[in-house]
Amino acid sequence: MIAQPMASHWIDGRAVEGTGPALEVRFPYDASVIATLNEAAAPQIEAALAAAARAQPEWAARRPVERGRILTEAARLIRARAEELAQLETLDTGKPIQETRVADWPSGADALEFFGGLAAAITGQHIPLGTDWAYTRREALGVCLGIGAWNYPSQIACWKAAPALAMGNAMVFKPSEETPLGALKLAEILAEAGLPPGVFQVLNGGRDLGAALLGDPRIAKVSLTGSVETGRKVYAEAASGMRHVTMELGGKSPLIVFDDADLEDAVGAAILANFYSTGQVCSNGTRVFVQEGIAERFLDRLAARAGELVAGDPRDEATQLGPLVSAGHAAKVRAAVNAGIASGARLVCGGPGDGPFVPPTVFVADDANPLATSEIFGPVLTALTFTTEEEALARANALPFGLAAGVFTRDLARAHRVAAGFEAGTVWINAYNLTPVEMPFGGVKQSGIGRENAAAAIEHYSQVKTVYVGMGGVEAPV
Ligand SMILES: NC(=O)c1ccc[n+]([C@@H]2O[C@H](COP(=O)([O-])OP(=O)(O)OC[C@H]3O[C@@H](n4cnc5c(N)ncnc54)[C@H](O)[C@@H]3O)[C@@H](O)[C@H]2O)c1
Ligand SMILES: C[N+](C)(C)CC=O
């Protein structure tokens, strides 16, 4: 069976069974059990941390070009197995196969290739000081902990592992308990590509496992992808041990559509920004601010096009909208939709749905409605109307989140003015939700700390050592 992994964990270069409670992995479409794992318990935690601590110095001492070659080979292996991996991701997450073929593992392979190529180009600085001089060394942090969310499980594992390993760190990765299968595949692929035992390991389990790993003094850094609520707890725990952090968290991102925008493009972006991956995307533009003059036309087109989305079995190539990741999550999204209806917000299309499905849903609400203030993480778009640019920007920035933002306009000066004014880590102009590995990605305000991808990620997996070089005699007072 395609989904059955070799064992529940990957420790010290091999598949290892767990001794903790059973962890059933279900296909979100029909809740059938596709794999049964056993969670990591104390012996597996200790084995993984000890192996990582042992392997990391040797890995960091290798020539960067050798480290990079292994990552690049892993990218090649992923591309060679693209179809099998896409199918596994669809079973694990419930996301349509037409998405997992182009978005998930492919973007993971891009990260491995990008950081594989970058590894050998990472250098320090030379600092002239008259006769004396200094130089900096960019050094690995040690053993890093990666903790993943369930919406892009394989992409998240690759986005964390690639820069960490390129820089000479070891990583213990804990996937979300909802979607544990992709990271195990990544560990197998990295081993096949030549990665030494102990450098990348996967432990499966829930939040208690994440907390236990984070509490271990061998962990030098944690990179979390998850909710703002989890981010606060993990950040606080990391701070108590003065550990480095990357926090890739949630948001309630704004998308501003001005009345001079190409209407069909703007509607298309709003669809991508709310219904792709059944709305389970961190950077989604879930607050769509539409300028008054075009609001009704925009909503008409949005409802018409959203109504054309094909929902169904995510293994079916025609399916564009899959189930939500779990029955529990579907219940939460449905509760938010029902609360929106009860609040008196105008329901333009969609509704609560049933079973694992919630249809593409569009509300018009005011800024204070929970529909416009809280992340729902499902296919639910809240439209708001505005009059002026200043007003739209002020309202867009009013929430404590700042992961992403978008603006649609044909006015170039306005586009860049609004981009500069957004309080967000990533801004798209006349585009939305594109995250190529070449550009840094991450949030501001409560949406996160640090950046993934691009050269910026290397800074978050390394530290600078400064070396002062005395070239003459030492002038002491006595
Ligand atoms: N910014 C980004 O790049 C990005 C990308 C994807 C998802 N997200 C966010 O992730 C959230 C959805 O994912 P989720 O429901 O899996 O998030 P979550 O916060 O519930 O869980 C994320 C991970 O943290 C672990 N965890 C939970 N509590 C922990 C603790 N106290 N100590 C250590 N580990 C702990 C979980 O087991 C899981 O692996 C959304 O808010 C979404 O916006 C952000
Ligand atoms: C990082 N991204 C936007 C690709 C997926 C977030 O959920």
Q: Can you give the pTM of this predicted structure?
A: 0.98
CATH topology for 254-429?
Answer: Aldehyde Dehydrogenase; Chain A, domain 2 (3.40.309)
Catalytic-role residue among 39, 73, 113, 248: 248
**Span 280-322, pLDDT tens digits:** 999 999 999 999 999 999 999 999 999 999 999 999 999 999 9
| Three-point CA angle 155, 176, 102, nearest 5° | 25
- The separation between CA 428 and the C-alpha centre of its own chain, rounded to angstroms, equals 17
Which residues in the chain are classed under CATH 3.40.309.10? 254-429
Question: Could you report the per-residue pLDDT of 240-279, keeping only the tens digit for each?
Answer: 999 999 999 999 999 999 999 999 999 999 999 999 999 9
| Whether the predicted pLDDT of 448 surpasses 80 | yes
Q: Which of 247, 281, 376, 438 to mutate to test the pocket of ligand 2 (most atoms within 8 A of CB)?
A: 281
Residue 315: how many other CB atoms lie within 10 Å: 15
CA distance 271 to 373: 19
Q: Residue 354 — very low, low, confident or very high, per pLDDT cuts 50/70/90?
A: very high
Question: In the chain, where does the domain assigned CATH 3.40.605.10 lie?
Answer: 9-250+447-465
Q: How far apart are CA 257 and CA 276, in angstroms?
A: 19
Q: What is the pLDDT of residue 4?
A: 77
Residues 6 or more apart in contact with residue 328 via CB below 8 angstroms: none
User: Beta strand pairing status for 380-386 and 361-364?
Assistant: parallel
At 3, the pLDDT band (50, 70, 90 cuts) reads low
Pocket flag, ligand 1, residue 71 (CB < 6 Å) = no
Ligand 2 centroid vs 281 CA: distance in angstroms? 5
Query: 283 CB less than 6 Å from ligand 2?
Result: yes
Q: What is the ipTM of this complex?
A: 0.97
Q: Is the pLDDT of residue 216 over 80?
A: yes
* Ligand 1 close to Cβ of residue 325 (< 6 A): no
Q: What average pLDDT does this structure show over 119-123? A: 97
Q: Report percent pLDDT > 90 for the chain.
A: 99
Q: What pLDDT is attached to residue 98?
A: 98
Amino acid at 178: E
Residue whose CA is closest, atom 4 of ligand 2?
435
Instruction: Name the pLDDT band for 2 (thresholds 50, 70, 90).
Output: low
Using the mean position of ligand 1's atoms as its centre, give its distance from the Cα of residue 226 in Å.
Answer: 2
Mutation choice for ligand 1 from 176, 203, 377, 446, CB with most ligand atoms inside 8 A:
176
pLDDT at 294: 98
User: Of how many residues is the chain composed?
Assistant: 478
pLDDT at position 401 over 60:
yes
What pLDDT does residue 440 have? 98
Query: Ligand 1 test: best mutation among 147, 172, 233, most atoms within 8 Å of CB?
Result: 147
- For residue 200, the CA-to-ligand 1 centroid distance in Å is 20
Is the per-residue pLDDT at 383 higher than 80?
yes
Distance (Å, whole) CA 246 – CA 296: 41
Rounded Cα–Cα distance for residues 234 and 215 (Å): 10
As a three-state string, the secondary structure of the chain is CCCCCCCCEEECCEEECCCCCEEEEECCCCCCEEEEEECCCHHHHHHHHHHHHHHHHHHHHCCHHHHHHHHHHHHHHHHHCHHHHHHHHHHHHCCCHHHHCCCHHHHHHHHHHHHHHHHHHCCCCEEEECCEEEEEEEEECCEEEEECCCCCHHHHHHHHHHHHHHCCCEEEEECCCCCCHHHHHHHHHHHHCCCCCCCEEECCCCHHHHHHHHCCCCEEEEEEECCHHHHHHHHHHHHHCCCEEEEECCCCCEEEECCCCCHHHHHHHHHHHHHHHHHCCCCCCCEEEEEHHHHHHHHHHHHHHHHCCCECCCCCCCCCECCCCCHHHHHHHHHHHHHHHHCCCEEEECCCCECCECCCEEEECCCCCHHHCCCCCCCEEEEEEECCHHHHHHHHCCCCEECEEEEECCCHHHHHHHHHHCCCCEEEECCCCCCCCCCCECCEECCEECCECCCHHHHCCEEEEEEEECCCCCCCCC
How do beta strands 143-147 and 219-225 pair?
parallel
How high is the pLDDT of residue 30? Answer: 98
Beta-sheet pairing, 33-38 with 444-445: unpaired
Q: Which ligand is nearest to the CA of 332?
A: 1
Known catalytic membership, residue 390: no
Average pLDDT on 323-348 reads: 98
* 391 CB-near residues (< 8 Å, 6+ apart): none
Encoded tokens for 226: 């998850």
Q: What CATH number does domain 9-250+447-465 carry, 1.10.10.10, 3.40.50.300, 3.40.605.10, 3.10.580.10?
A: 3.40.605.10
From 463, 466, 465, 464, select the one nearest 221 (Cα to Cα).
Answer: 463
Atom of ligand 1 minimally distant from the CA of 231: 19
Quote the ligand 1 centre to 180 CA distance (angstroms).
13
Residue 133's closest CA among 465, 472, 475, 462? 472
Q: Is 131 in contact with 124 (CB distance < 8 Å)?
A: no
